[in-house]
Amino acid sequence: MAQGGFFARLANLWRGFLSLWISGAERKNPEIAYENAINSMIEKYSTLKQATGSLIARREELQQRHEAREKELAQTEADLNAAVESNQDDIALMLIQKKTALQTEVAELDADMQAAMNDADSAKASLLQVQAEIKKLKSEKDMMMVKLHSAEARIRIQEQLEGLSVDSEVQALDNVRDHIKSTVAQATLGKELTDSSLDERLKALRAQSGQSQAKQQLELLKAAAAAKAAAGQKKTI
């Protein structure tokens, strides 16, 4: 009954691990869920370790009792042989009964000791398995937290990009462009108006007239110079 109870508790332990993981995975904070699962497994590991220690202690106790009964059986057989050889039938009968009882007890201790050894070995294997699962879960937690934080960072960037609007910036540049174009147009219009004004036209006319008078004076000077040159040549002849 005690052995069956132990393995039933061991089965419940693994079912508890599974249900703990399912409930923990549904929590809003995965890191806390992992920590709770790890801490619970460590606590169960400690309980299983104590149970394993009790099984090992029981196995050693049975081994000691088995060795003691085997020694007592060997001594009883030796005493029985001595009683038979010395014709002490009454002692021999008593020793025969004792030998039978010891043989029965040794056989029972053999079975109990073998079962205790199997239980202890199974418990140690389970203990090592739980220990490995704890290490595996810790490693998984670290890896999953890195993935989670990376995914959260990507989501934040995506949300920022989705919420980012350049309409206001583009509109501001459009206003600047319009202002520049308007200023350039005003400057061009001012020059055109200046070029087409009456004063400017008069200035241009005067400049053109001045050039005409200068050309006439130049022609007169050239003619006078030519006449003077011709008169000089006549005197020489």
Closest by alpha carbon to 69, among 96, 100, 109? 109
Q: What is the predicted pLDDT for the residue at 186?
A: 76
Q: What is the predicted pLDDT for the residue at 200?
A: 65
Q: What is the predicted pLDDT for the residue at 24?
A: 47
Q: What is the predicted pLDDT for the residue at 215?
A: 75
Residue 222, Cβ density class (10 Å: 0-12 exposed, 13-18 middle, ≥19 buried): exposed
> Residue 87: which region, alpha, beta or left (left: phi > 0; alpha: psi -120 to 50)?
left
Q: How far is residue 20's CA from residue 16's CA, in Å, rounded to a whole number? A: 6
Structure tokens of 57? 């202690």
Structure tokens of 178? 């319009």
Structure tokens of 6? 């132990």
Q: How far is residue 237's CA from residue 235's CA, in Å, rounded to a whole number? A: 5
Q: How far is residue 36's CA from residue 86's CA, in Å, rounded to a whole number? A: 75
Q: What is the predicted pLDDT for the residue at 183?
A: 80
- pLDDT tens per residue, the chain (237 residues)? 445 555 566 556 655 655 555 554 555 677 888 888 888 888 888 888 888 888 888 889 999 999 999 999 999 999 889 989 989 989 989 999 999 999 999 999 999 988 888 988 888 888 888 888 889 988 888 898 888 888 888 888 887 777 655 565 666 677 777 778 878 777 776 666 665 555 666 676 677 776 777 777 878 888 777 777 777 776 666
Q: How far is residue 97's CA from residue 93's CA, in Å, rounded to a whole number? A: 6
Q: What is the predicted pLDDT for the residue at 1?
A: 43
Residue 28's Cβ-side half-sphere holds a number of Cα atoms within 13 Å equal to 0
Cβ neighbours, 10 Å, residue 54:
15
